[in-house]
Amino acid sequence: MATNKVEFPKADELLAPMKALNELALSNAEKMIKLQSQNFEKYSKLALNNFQEASTVSDVEASKAFFSKQGELSKKVAEDVAADLKTFADLGQSYVAEVQKVVSENIAKYGKTA
């Protein structure tokens, strides 16, 4: 029994932009997840260390010392969070630029759609 096989010689070429976009999305997701995991670990350790230090406070002087450090710690956390947000924003902008590049190249190649 003969089978009719329909071939699409340009299928790979036509699907290449979708493949490129999927690869970009996957790569971006991997980077975002890695950053989120690193940040989760960083801030979790910071919080746990702070709780451990708080648990050692046993008198007024230790309490004053502990609370005097909290302002510095808050400032550092705020700076770190701002830097982390910039990293995420930069990653997002890079992803958008790469997607626009793939789209632009393919619009130029295949012409504008309706």
Q: Is residue 88 part of a domain?
A: yes
* Predicted local distance difference test score (pLDDT) of residue 12: 82
Q: Is residue 11 part of a domain?
A: no
Per-residue pLDDT band at 47 (split at 50, 70, 90): very high
Q: How far apart are CA 43 and CA 41, in angstroms?
A: 6
Q: Is residue 85 part of a domain?
A: yes
Three-state SS string across 25-76, please? HHHHHHHHHHHHHHHHHHHHHHHHHHHHHHHCCCCHHHHHHHHHHHHHHHHH
Domain that holds residue 93: 79-108
Q: Which pair of structure tokens corresponds to residue 15?
A: 């699907």
Q: Is residue 69 part of a domain?
A: no
Q: Is residue 87 part of a domain?
A: yes
* Predicted local distance difference test score (pLDDT) of residue 6: 63
Amino acid 102 reads V
What φ, ψ does residue 9 adopt, rounded to 5°?
A: -60, -25
Using the structure block, give the residue that is written with the tokens 């393919």.
106
Q: How far apart are CA 33 and CA 31, in angstroms?
A: 6
Q: Is residue 23 part of a domain?
A: no
Q: Is residue 49 part of a domain?
A: no
Amino acid 28 reads N
pLDDT tens-digit series, residues 51-75: 999 999 999 999 999 999 999 999 9
% pLDDT > 90, the chain:
76
Sequence-distant (6+) residues with CB within 8 A of 25 are 95
Q: Is residue 34 part of a domain?
A: no
The structural domain count of the chain equals 1
* Predicted local distance difference test score (pLDDT) of residue 62: 94
